[in-house]
A and B are shown apart, each in its own frame.
Chain A
Amino acid sequence: MASVTTNGQDRDPVSLFEIHRRQMIRDRMIVNVTLGVVFLGFLLWSLWISRFTPDRLATGLPRIFEYFGSVMPSLQWDVLFDGRNEAGRFPAGSIGYWYNDFWKYLRLIWETILMALTATILAIGLAVALSFIAARNCTPFPWAGVLARRFLEFCRGVPEILFALVLVFAVGIGPLAGVLAITIHATGALGKLFSEVNENASMRPVDGIKAVGGSWFEQMRYGILTQVLPNFTSYALWRFEINVRASAVVGFVGAGGIGAELSHTISFYSDDRVTAVLLLVVLTVTIIDLVSERARHSLIGKESLR
């Protein structure tokens, strides 16, 4: 093939390409080196600020292994499934001994799940209502939309445990503070997701209901809600999973559920009771995740949720 003519100059394609390539590499190099320097600088700063130094790590790591060693249960095969002995106690090394407080844990886990469920239901109600006001294409008054979006941002921005801290002070120690804290945070998170779904909904049915003489509520109920309901359900289930995790830790500040027991056990004992509670919490969370994930996937294609 003949050489390419550009601007009247004869340049063969290879040398032209080489010029472009060198230019590109040079540009990229500058950007990459700058980014690398910034990254390294930030890393060094972070290490210094968080006092994450090798000597601290060196003294810390053995203690971690030591700690984990001490909280592991010492199970013995020959007595593993033994029941209570004459004195009414489980023999050391049996599962019964490890899970001496099993029923107490179970009651607390039950409370934890109920807290999450109640908070999720309340949050769904609030989030659905607010999402229609917050969505730009649905809002009845633009100023109300701005207000609702700011409110949701605030609810979402503050972690539930902080809300719980404040609410425990306001309404006293107990699960109510936890339920309210999780409700507020979940309302923010769900409200934002819901309003984004609303914003992606087709406005044609809304126009149709509007032309029929439907009120704003009817436009939302028939025009939008029917379109977004599967997504709402899927997000709500997903939020329930997260709320179960959250309600397991709000007890750290006294807001009910297994968290108080968890925090108490970890803070005051370093024996197998720690792993006993932790294992139960992990199991609960995992089982709920699995069930809810299955429900979500059967409800809506796998791809619609990241």
Chain B
Amino acid sequence: MLEFKGLTKQFNSTVAVKPATFTIPDGQMVGIIGRSGAGKSTLLRMINRLNEPSGGQMLFQGRDITALKGRDLRQWRNECAMVFQQFNLVGRLNVITNVMSGRLFHHGFASSMMGIFTAKERAFAIRALDRLGMAHVALQQTDTLSGGQMQRVAIARALVQEPRIMLADEPIASLDPLNAKVVMDALRAINRQDGLTVICNLHTLDTARQYCDRIIGMQDGVIVFDGTPKELTDRAAREIYGAEAEEAFSEAMTSTALHPQPVAQPEARVVN
């Protein structure tokens, strides 16, 4: 169980995330929605402390996450894997090394500096890649892959961490619809089969509705909605997205729609 107790983030004078208090039980798939700049990314990056919270507390299974330091902090980061919008893989290394880097926390100084990985780790990495259907590119240099392939490699890296929570920061925002579907399906499979908690920032409403058990809506750093996809009415969604509503809705129907057939033609936007 991940508990947030008044977690805040302040950049100089602007408050990115206003005190947030909520709880995420184990095994839930949570989608955080909101327009760009609403503080979704900051909230997510505070969970694994890539962004340092300016106030409040975070507890995981009763353990205070916000107070962790040094090796404990790195252990926590190892326990909650993150998938990024831009994949954040090491482009000049091959795919399997990227995946194995998910096990760096368990390495000593010398072996990680020399880049020595055991056969067990290699086999495990191949298993993880195989699960995402990417084992065949294991020896390719990572920056030669397409975006969708890279994101799947990134998920494989997250998997070899054997995490307890999976964070996904806009995992499909840079992908085409087909790859977006593959990636979201993979995340849901991980959630369902492994029982991992998945917390996912999403820009598009449709995806969140289709894949998540629970939706959290953010606006200007404040959580304005917290409920099931069914409870999220069109009116509530419009409120969350504000001025970007049309974009978010139409985007859901066109560019990143996960339905096989487009529902509306792009011309429809001109009328508005």
What is the interface of chain A, defined by CB distance below 8 A to chain B?
A: 204-205, 207-215, 217-218, 221-223, 226-227, 229
Partner of A208, one of B75, B88, B113, B115: B88
A229 to B115, CA, bound (A): 15
Q: Assess whether B90 is interfacial by the CB under 8 Å rule.
A: yes
Distance (Å) between the CB of B261 and the closest chain A CB? 35
Interface residues of B in 46-104 (CB under 8 A from A): 48, 50, 74-79, 81-82, 84, 86-93, 101-102, 104
B101 in contact with A222 (CB, 8 Å): yes
Additional A-B contact list (15), CB under 8 Å, known A209-B104, A211-B82 = A204-B88, A205-B90, A207-B84, A211-B48, A211-B50, A212-B81, A212-B161, A213-B74, A213-B161, A214-B74, A217-B112, A218-B107, A221-B115, A222-B90, A227-B90
- Chain A residue contacts of B91, Cβ below 8 A: 205, 226-227
Q: Which B residues fall within an 8 A CB radius of A?
A: 48, 50, 74-79, 81-82, 84, 86-93, 101-102, 104-105, 107, 109, 112-113, 115, 154, 157, 161
User: Nearest Cβ distance between residue A128 and chain B, in whole angstroms?
Assistant: 12
Contact of B104 among A212, A226, A229 (CB under 8 A): A212
- Given contacts A204-B88, A205-B90, A227-B91, whether A213 and B75 have CB atoms under 8 Å apart is yes
Partner of B84, one of A204, A222, A223, A226: A204
- A210 — which chain B residues lie within 8 A by C-beta? 50, 77
Contacts of A217 in B (CB 8 A): 109, 112-113
Output the nearest chain B residue to A220 by Cβ-Cβ distance. B113
* C-alpha spacing A214/B88, complex, angstroms: 14
- Chain A contact residues: over half helix, strand or loop, or mixed? helix
**Shortest Cβ distance from B89 into A: residue:** A208
Most B CB contacts (10 A, CB to CB) among A208, A209, A217, A223 go to A208
The chain B residue with its CB closest to the CB of A213 is B78
- In whole angstroms, what is the CA distance A155 to B8 when docked? 44
Bound state CA distance, A222 and B89, in angstroms? 10
Residue contact A212 to B105, C-beta cutoff 8 Å: yes
- Closest chain-B Cβ to A90's Cβ sits at a distance in Å of 55
Asked whether B93 lies within 8 Å of A214 as measured between CB atoms, the reply is no
Q: What is the CB-to-nearest-CB distance from A59 to chain B, in angstroms, rounded to a whole number?
A: 62
Chain B, residue nearest A221 (CB): B113
| Chain A to chain B contacts (Cβ below 8 Å), 7 pairs | A207-B50, A209-B104, A211-B84, A212-B157, A213-B105, A215-B109, A218-B112
In the bound complex, residues from chain A placing their C-beta under 8 Å from that of B104 are 209, 212-214, 218, 222
CA A215 to CA B113, docked complex, whole Å: 11
Q: How many angstroms between the C-alpha atoms of A212 and B82 in the bound complex?
A: 8
Whole-angstrom distance from the CB of B113 to the nearest CB of chain A?
Answer: 6
B81 CB contact (under 8 Å) in A211, A214, A218: A211
The answer on a CB contact under 8 Å between B82 and A209 is no
Which residue of the partner chain, among B76, B87, B101, contacts A214 with CB atoms under 8 Å?
B101
CA distance A141 to B183 in the complex (A): 37
- 7 closest A-B pairs (Cβ-Cβ)? A213-B78, A208-B88, A213-B105, A211-B82, A213-B77, A213-B74, A204-B88
User: Which residues from chain B contact A204 at a C-beta distance below 8 Å?
Assistant: 84, 86-88
Closest to A214 in B: B104
Q: Is the CB of B75 within 8 A of A209?
A: no
* A229: chain B residues within 8 A (beta carbon): 92
Are A222 and B78 in contact, CB atoms less than 8 angstroms apart? no
